[in-house]
Structure 1
């Protein structure tokens, strides 16, 4: 299990009620399951969000295939409008 920090932006931050929190997880799928358990409004936002792991976009990769390294920073980026 890797330890790291998950950071929430915009609507994800509002739904989480915090800007960031520590985590322990092996994969991005494990992390998403852990942070959204019992937090339905956050789960709704996360389902529509994209992710960065240490600044690298996850893109369309399956979340269970994205291993999290020790000390990782995972960022949750909800969709946004504008430009």
Structure 2
């Protein structure tokens, strides 16, 4: 199991209650299943996009995205602005 960091932005940060945290998971799907600890964060996660080590996860199946040791996953909820 890889260990790394999750960084929350905007509404995700507010819902998580922290700007970042350590995590351990094999895939992005495992990681997401483990961090949905409250209803507000679960709602934000469903609408968010994700960067894994700077690369967009896009529409790929989160179960097919393997997390390397030392990963950084950025949780990017939709936000307004230009």
**Do both proteins adopt the same fold according to a TM-score greater than 0.5, normalized to the shorter chain?**
yes
* 2-structure distance, mates of 1:39, 1:28: 18
Q: What secondary structure, in the 3-state scheme, does the structure 2 residue paired with 1:44 have? A: helix
Q: What secondary structure, in the 3-state scheme, does the structure 2 residue paired with 1:18 have? A: coil
* 2-structure distance, mates of 1:42, 1:68: 21
**TM-score w.r.t. structure 1 length?**
0.97
Contiguous gaps of at least 5 residues in structure 1: none
Kindly state the Cα deviation for residue 82 of structure 1 after the two structures are TM-superposed: 1.5
Kindly state the Cα deviation for residue 40 of structure 1 after the two structures are TM-superposed: 1.1
Residue in 2 that maps onto 1:49: 48
Residue in 2 that maps onto 1:31: 31
Q: Does 1:74 align with 2:55?
A: no
Moved over 4 A (4+): none
* 1-structure distance, mates of 2:71, 2:81: 29
Deviation string 1:5-52 (CA, Å, 9 cap, x unpaired) is: 00000000000000000001000000000000x311100000000000
Residue in 1 that maps onto 2:5: 5
Residue in 1 that maps onto 2:19: 19
Question: Pairwise CA RMSD of aligned residues?
Answer: 0.6
Contiguous gaps of at least 5 residues in structure 2: none
